[in-house]
Amino acid sequence: MKTIFPFLKPYRAQFALVMLIVLADVGGSLLVPTITANMINLAVGGESLEKIIQQGIWMLGISVVSGGLTLLGGWMCAKLSANIGRDLRTAVYDKSLQFSSADFETFGTASMITRTLNDINVIQQSLVNFIQMVLPVPVMCVMGILFSFRINREMGFLLLAATVLVLLAAMLIIRKAALIFEKLQGFLDRMNVVLRENLTGVRVIRAFNKERHETKRMKKTFEDYADSAISANRLFAGLDCMAAVSINICIVAILYLGGNRVGSGAMEIGDITAVTEYAIWVLFYVMMAQMVILLVPRAMTCLRRISDVLTHTPEITDGTEAAQETSGEDVIRFDHVSFCFDDADENTLSDISFSCKRGQTTAVIGGTGSGKSTIAKLILRYHDATDGKITLHGQDIRQIPQRSLRSHISYVPQKAWLFSGTIAQNLRYGKRDASEEEIRSALRTAQADFVFALPGGTGAPVAQGGTNFSGGQRQRISIARALVKKADLFVFDDSFSALDFKTDAALRRALEEETRESAVLIIAQRISTILHADQILVLDDGKIAGMGTHEELMKTCRVYQDIANSQMKGGGQNG
């Protein structure tokens, strides 16, 4: 509950007003049976029609006010719930922005989606139902039983006994429900994982003729969820039947005992109607509260899962010092840097030292798994170095706020990702206020002139992930997005792999002019991409196997020679 209280605090005045409205509605609901009983007793006693009509007018007025309060309370409660749901989602999203890759792996993408959407929906619904159906129950029970005692002592004890029995039975069912709903949320997570894998991996599934295997896997996952959901619904059905039977038995008992009391002159006939309605109202609210309380274990499970995200300590802690602007040559420097993943036995990178200088291009090359892309992730602080330090303008990047650090860096990831919208909107991710001329200039530098021939030009639509463009087109648009942002360091993480050699060469020539005031780091697989780099770093199994220009490495570095020879034999150098 500590998780939800901070989100309720800004709305405490609204919450208090909702509670007053709900309680006033309860009071109005209990006054109606009293007035009904008075009207019957007046009629049976032969009182004038004028008195009966007066009571009827009072009952009509109270009913109208009570109905209006019900509508107002429902609207305000829904608004309160929507505001809290919005704040919860914003908090989870803001927290996720602090997560590193390892933090995301702790929860899983599918689980994060479930927590943000489904879990918070459950919390919202439970909050509305709890305020409207559970919080008024103590007042309804106390007032209803007291009114019954006021009419007749035996009637009061009868209603009290019926209420206690129903509550005890509900407590037993609720204890069992907690375990079921815990499993239900786990199965929902699993369903999301399987669905996501099947939708994103549909081509692989078809290519390997694994449709039947995946159908069985999905069927098993759905059946587990269905079995758990059916168990939960059985509890609801059982509780519903028990409550209905309890209400009917209570009414029969009231009519039987009340009839005897009326016959003996201890009660008036209208009082039987009042006690019957009190019993219906009290047991109805208790029954509805039980239905809501059955959902409380599920809401508590969801709340715990949200709390796990909000209280998770990110692997990367933000620095507090402002990034320093210097005119020195070194933009980024690696000083004896090593890195090891938490669950790995060996270092991914070991004792890496080099610098990226302003006006120069540094390239990183090596075999698959040699740690090339990890260098880019360390610069951006997607991970922190295990040993050694990385500096920006001579300042340890761990001391700099991540937002400030990344404002100095423009990054093109290994997998070119575009967002749904337009090409211009995607490019303005690099610079929000970029002019049309800046966008067109970046596209020309990135060799993305094909954009100008599209219907709408830079306003042409982009599907989610950029699926309406080829791999090479996505890469060039991603490069243009990076170029729109004027940065101290440009990082290209294997960003030219989908380009033909002619486009690759033209792009590199254009980049030299565009990035002459910045440092450039190119991570590449192809030697042709980095032939003219000022400095080439050769990685082998996470260690530096050589450093220098292409000509120097061809003479001194065996690993580089092997890479070059394999690509030349395979036609990699000449296309």
The pLDDT value given to residue 193? 81
Domain match, 191 and 245 both: yes
Tell me: do 458 and 357 sit in the same domain.
Answer: no
The Cα 448–Cα 466 span in angstroms is: 14
Does residue 179 sit in the same domain as residue 245?
Answer: yes
- pLDDT class of 568 with cuts at 50, 70, 90: low
**Structural domain includes residue 315:** no
Q: Is the pLDDT of residue 572 over 80?
A: no
Residue 130 placed within a domain: yes
Q: Is residue 404 located within the same domain as residue 268?
A: no
Choose the final residue of a domain: 423, 451, 486.
486
Same structural domain, 292 and 387: no
What is the C-alpha separation between 347 and 340, in angstroms, rounded? 4
Pairwise CA distance, residues 100 & 314, whole Å = 7
Between 175 and 97, residue with greater pLDDT: 97
322: in domain:
no
For residue 337, the domain's CATH number is 3.40.50.300
CA distance 294 to 437: 60
In CATH, what number is assigned to the domain containing residue 180?
1.20.1560.10
End residue of a domain, out of 486, 512, 527: 486
Residues 459 and 540 in one domain: no
pLDDT category, 1, cuts 50, 70, 90?
A: low
Distance, CA of 187 to CA of 192 (rounded, Å)? 9
What residue numbers bound the domain in which 429 lies? Answer: 415-486
Is 149 in the same domain as 297?
Answer: yes
pLDDT at 246: 79
pLDDT averaged over every residue in the chain: 84
Number of domains in the chain: 3
Residue 321 lies in a domain: no
Residue 349 confidence (pLDDT) above 50: yes
575 in any annotated domain? no
Question: What is the distance between the alpha carbons of residues 497 and 479, in angstroms, rounded to a whole number?
Answer: 12
**DSSP per-residue string spanning 174-243:** HHHHHHHHHHHHHHHHHHHHHHHHHHHTHHHHHHTT-HHHHHHHHHHHHHHHHHHHHHHHHHHHHHHHHH
∠ Cα 46 51 54 (to 5°): 150
In a domain, 282, yes or no: yes
Q: How far apart are CA 566 and CA 137, in angstroms?
A: 78
SS (H, E, C) 542-555: CEEEEEECHHHHHH
Q: Which of 312, 302, 276 lies closest to 105, judged by CA?
A: 312
Q: Is residue 389 part of a domain?
A: yes
Based on the domain organization, do 250 and 161 belong to the same domain? yes
The answer to whether position 320 is within a domain reads no
Same structural domain for residues 51 and 125? yes
- Count of C-beta atoms within a 10 Å radius of residue 215: 12
**How confident is the model over 63-85, as a mean pLDDT?**
87
Q: For the whole model, what pTM was predicted?
A: 0.66
Query: Strand pairing partners for 422?
Result: 461
Confidence band, pLDDT 50/70/90 cuts, at residue 178:
low
Q: Are 54 and 131 members of one domain?
A: yes
Over the stretch 412-469, which tens digit does the pLDDT of each residue have?
A: 988 888 899 999 999 998 888 889 999 999 999 999 999 999 998 999 999 988 888 9
Lowest mean pLDDT among 50-54, 81-85, 468-472: 50-54
Tokens at 275, concatenated: 């006690």
pLDDT given for residue 390 in this prediction: 93
Considering the domain architecture, whether residues 456 and 428 belong to the same structural domain is answered as: yes
| CB atoms closer than 10 angstroms to residue 561 | 15
- Is the domain of 425 the same as that of 557? no
Residue 29 pLDDT > 90 = no
Q: Could you say which of 486, 501, 520 is where a domain stops?
A: 486
The per-residue pLDDT for 537 is 94
Q: Report CA 340 to chain centroid distance, whole Å.
A: 29
